[in-house]
Amino acid sequence: MPVEEYRKQVEAFSTDLSREHYMYFSGQKDRLELACLYERYSDLYSLDAVTEIRRWRSEASPQYSAIPQSLDKLLAFAVEHHLQMATRGISEQISEYESKAQITWQGRMLGFYESFVVLANEPDPSARRQLALRAGEVISRGNDLRTERIARQREACVALGFPSYLAAYTSTRHIDYTSLFKPIMEFLQATDRFYTTSLRRALANEIGVGLEDAHRSDVGYFSRLKRFDPHFPKEDLVACYNASMAGLEIDVARQTNITLDIEPRPRKHPRAFCSPIMIPDEIKLVITPHGGADDYAAFLHEAGHAQHMGWTSRRLTIEDRALGDRSVSEAYAFLFNYFIADTDWLTDILRFKNHEDFHQLQKLLKLHIIRRYAGKLRYELELHDSPSVHRDLASTYARYLTEATRFQYDPVEYLYDLDDGFYSADYLRAWIFEAQLRDHLRRRFGRSWFKSKKAGLFLMELWETGERYGADDLAAQIGLGSLDTGALLAEFHDAA
Ligand SMILES: [Zn+2]
């Protein structure tokens, strides 16, 4: 297949896949039917396809009208979906097992997934521990399937000619995950005192739990910050988004390519999400507003993705619109996500005056999630470096995550709390880039940069490049130098 035809097919596949996700998670379709969709496009990520793209890559010449970086993105796409195909049977078994699993709780039956919602709303710490134990039993029974899934991913990588799973991602995505390890560990160390002191105080004040007793099952309840709900009414969420965009001179009413889906439907997924059905022409921004700070943050995060993709130039190839460095879109998403941790935004847009406590807590929650992902990356590098998935890794997982977050983790989650393809590293790189970018926006356009037309134009120029450049290249082009944890570290420095 010529490269032009391959791109067309990738575009068609991405559109169908995104539409299927949108229809299912927005509650407009009963079942998520991915199997036949993956079958229909299987030529795009077969062994032959991977070989073909490698051939284009080695012969990169004008006749393919593609530069090597573009072909690398197509190769990363093919390899990633090849791994999905190779594990699809077992992935389906896992999701079927989990979606049917039930937990007996306080005289009623809870679905496994439902138990996490109950957990986040349970005010009694000992009840939370008990419920988490029951959920842990469900997780434990699924661990053999998950071990098998990792073994198949590894076999598939070797069959594609990569020495390992880590090597497959490092070489196709051009991200040196192991070199991220050192600065991230230094970040953990440098923020440790501020984190521990703030967390001890906040846990005592907010949920009456001592730092030594803090458990992973407390995280959801603690993060809700329920007492601030009156400042984040569900009725005002969309108006708050509109006002934030208006500050950047983005008139959302005129953005016909970004559709806001706020209609309540019984089966609609409760959390906000963004479905880029066609970039930039058909972007769905979906939410059922519930109110509360985390609801606002989740929606603003997805709005960041939507604006990025909605402003992406349609002249770019599919790989430069949709298949690049995932940290880039995540950084734009974090930029809006953390409006709620910005004192000027809280005052100017939300009209939340006495926000000192709230602001300190938001800072702490941000640091908590970054530290959690630092712990995850540290563990994942060890897991994927290990020749087999053995039980010792479970205690390593619990130790690293507990050390990083100070919440006691249960070893049982060592394969459950794990994303494919080093997404943990993508998030970490996004947090680093976002902090540098926001620092730049503040210096150039003032502390209230979110009310500056010029800042809006600057962002649109960046968004227009879609995913053509990686986070490292963008940072260099803006004049920020290389990706560096300095700006991120400074966010947690003043109160240390
Ligand atoms: Zn995101």
What is the DSSP track for 272-322? -EEEEEETTTEEEEE-----SHHHHHHHHHHHHHHHHHHHS-TTS-HHHHH
Say how many Å lie between the CA of residue 449 and the centre of ligand 1: 22
Lowest mean pLDDT among 75-79, 202-206, 379-383, 492-496: 492-496
Same domain, 184 and 300: yes
Residue 164 domain flag:
no
Q: Evaluate if residue 495 carries a pLDDT over 50.
A: no
| Band (45; pLDDT cuts 50, 70, 90) | very high
Same domain, 195 and 339: yes
Mean pLDDT value of segment 282-304: 96
Same domain, 68 and 199: no
Tokens 């390593």 correspond to: 396
Say how many Å lie between the CA of residue 304 and the centre of ligand 1: 8
Of 35, 65, 86, the residue at which a domain comes to its end is 86
Of 23, 55, 86, the residue at which a domain comes to its end is 86
Same domain, 54 and 188: no
Q: Evaluate if residue 62 carries a pLDDT over 90.
A: no
Same domain, 344 and 444: yes
Structure tokens at 197: 């002191």
Of 42, 70, 86, the residue at which a domain comes to its end is 86
Lowest mean pLDDT among 27-36, 52-61, 78-87, 348-357: 52-61
Of 68 and 163, the one with more pLDDT: 163
Residue 157 domain flag:
no
> Angle at Cα 461 formed by Cα 458 and Cα 465, nearest 5°?
145
Residues 137-152 have pLDDT tens digits of 999 999 999 999 999 9
What range defines the domain where residue 75 resides? 1-86
Residue 114 domain flag:
no
Say how many Å lie between the CA of residue 328 and the centre of ligand 1: 10
Query: For position 1, what pLDDT does the model report?
Result: 84
Say how many Å lie between the CA of residue 454 and the centre of ligand 1: 25
Same domain, 75 and 190: no
Residues 447-474 have pLDDT tens digits of 999 999 999 999 999 999 999 999 999 9
CATH of the domain at 307: 1.10.1370.30
Say how many Å lie between the CA of residue 268 and the centre of ligand 1: 19
Say how many Å lie between the CA of residue 298 and the centre of ligand 1: 9
Same domain, 262 and 383: yes
pTM for this entry: 0.96
Same domain, 348 and 239: yes
Residues 361-402 have pLDDT tens digits of 999 999 999 999 999 999 999 999 999 999 899 999 999 999
End-to-end CA distance of the chain: 58
Query: For position 92, what pLDDT does the model report?
Result: 87
Tokens 């998950």 correspond to: 146
Same domain, 254 and 355: yes
Say how many Å lie between the CA of residue 305 and the centre of ligand 1: 7
Query: For position 61, what pLDDT does the model report?
Result: 64
- How high does pLDDT run on average in the chain? 94
- 29: helix, coil or strand? coil
Residue 3 domain flag:
yes
Residues 327-362 have pLDDT tens digits of 999 999 999 999 999 999 999 999 999 999 999 999
Count of domains for the chain: 2
Same domain, 67 and 205: no
Determine how β-strand 258-261 pairs with β-strand 282-286.
Answer: parallel
Residue 93 domain flag:
no
Query: For position 496, what pLDDT does the model report?
Result: 42
Q: Evaluate if residue 66 carries a pLDDT over 70.
A: no
Q: Evaluate if residue 103 carries a pLDDT over 90.
A: yes
